[in-house]
């Protein structure tokens, strides 16, 4: 399980996001955001190399605060060919330079997100080491599915980020795997726990609102990508 270091980050994740967020097609603001960390959770990398975090961050610069979801992946070296996914670099007080990526473009994060959906990964508390987070729930409608992802295509639009993933065949007799669409809700809306469109699975998590009340929403939704 991931160990959470009590140390410094220079610049901080919020400072990196202040520059990165306005360039995203799903950003709702009109100018420079004023960000506060609102919540989230972590997943473990089975190989122990990559940090994986799903952060909820609230922009208070507009009349109505907007909460965004940013999946982060943290690496000790740059990912070859992933410059467009780089949010920035930061100096970690114990681990040195860390390359911070938009995790939707990171195969490690995508694989663990899918593993979470189908019950093969356990969500972890965002700021406490070695502690599962029972408030994060995941479900999948099918009982037999492989967690191995062979390819991923990523696209952004004003509604969020869509991952088209190809899974490996369930068994040796199957010629092809499955095509699944994973939608990442970038703008989190309180009460957004269900979706009217047919879904195979979803990940739901919560975060505190500025007034102290709790909110929950769908962080990720999985559908069959077949016509």
Neighbours of 98 (CB within 10 A): 18
Q: Tokens at residue 54, please? A: 């799903």
Give the CA distances from residue 181 to residues 118, 163, 203, 221, in Å, rounded to whole numbers and listed in that order: 14, 6, 14, 8
> Are the CB atoms for 125 and 132 separated by under 8 Å?
yes
> 22 — phi, psi (to 5°)?
-60, -20
Neighbours of 7 (CB within 10 A): 9
**Per-residue pLDDT, 127:** 80
Q: Tokens at residue 175, please? A: 């010629």
DSSP 151-168: EEEEEEETTEEEEEEEEP
> Which pTM does this prediction carry?
0.91
What does the mean pLDDT of the chain come to?
A: 88
Rg (CA), the chain: 17
b/e sequence 50-70, b meaning 16+ C-beta within 10 Å:
bbbbbbbbbbeeeeeebbbbb
| 210 pLDDT tier (thresholds 50, 70, 90) | confident
**Per-residue pLDDT, 173:** 45
> Are the CB atoms for 72 and 53 separated by under 8 Å?
yes
User: Alpha helix (H) ranges present in the chain?
Assistant: 13-20, 107-117
Give the residue from 27, 48, 60, 96 showing the smallest Cα distance to 211: 60
**Annotated domain spans of the chain:** 9-224
Rounded Cα distance between 176 and 168, Å, is: 7
Exposed / middle / buried, residue 156 (Cβ in 10 Å: 0-12, 13-18, 19+): middle
pLDDT tens for residues 42-94? 999 999 999 999 999 999 998 999 999 999 999 999 999 999 999 999 997 67
Q: Percentage of the chain with pLDDT > 90?
A: 67
């Amino acid at each position: 399980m991931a160990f959470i270091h009590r140390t410094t980050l220079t610049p901080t994740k919020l400072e990196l996001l202040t520059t990165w967020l306005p360039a995203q097609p799903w950003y709702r603001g009109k100018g420079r955001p004023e960000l506060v960390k609102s919540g989230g959770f972590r997943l473990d990398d089975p190989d122990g190399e990559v940090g994986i975090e799903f952060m909820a961050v609230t922009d208070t610069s507009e009349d109505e605060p907007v909460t965004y979801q940013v999946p982060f992946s943290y690496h000790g070296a740059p990912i070859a060919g992933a410059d467009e996914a780089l949010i920035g670099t930061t100096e970690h007080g114990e681990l040195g330079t860390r390359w911070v990526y938009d995790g939707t473009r990171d195969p490690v994060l995508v694989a663990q997100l899918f593993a979470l959906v189908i019950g093969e990964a356990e969500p972890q508390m965002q700021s406490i080491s070695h502690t599962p987070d029972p408030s994060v729930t995941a479900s999948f409608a099918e009982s037999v599915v492989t967690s191995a992802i062979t390819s991923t295509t990523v696209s952004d639009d004003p509604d969020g980020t869509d991952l088209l993933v190809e899974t490996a065949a369930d068994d040796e007799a199957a010629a092809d795997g499955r095509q699944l669409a994973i939608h990442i809700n970038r703008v989190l809306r309180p009460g957004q726990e269900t979706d009217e469109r047919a879904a195979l699975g979803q990940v739901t998590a919560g975060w505190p609102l500025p007034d102290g009340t709790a909110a929950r929403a769908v962080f990720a939704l999985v559908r069959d990508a077949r016509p």
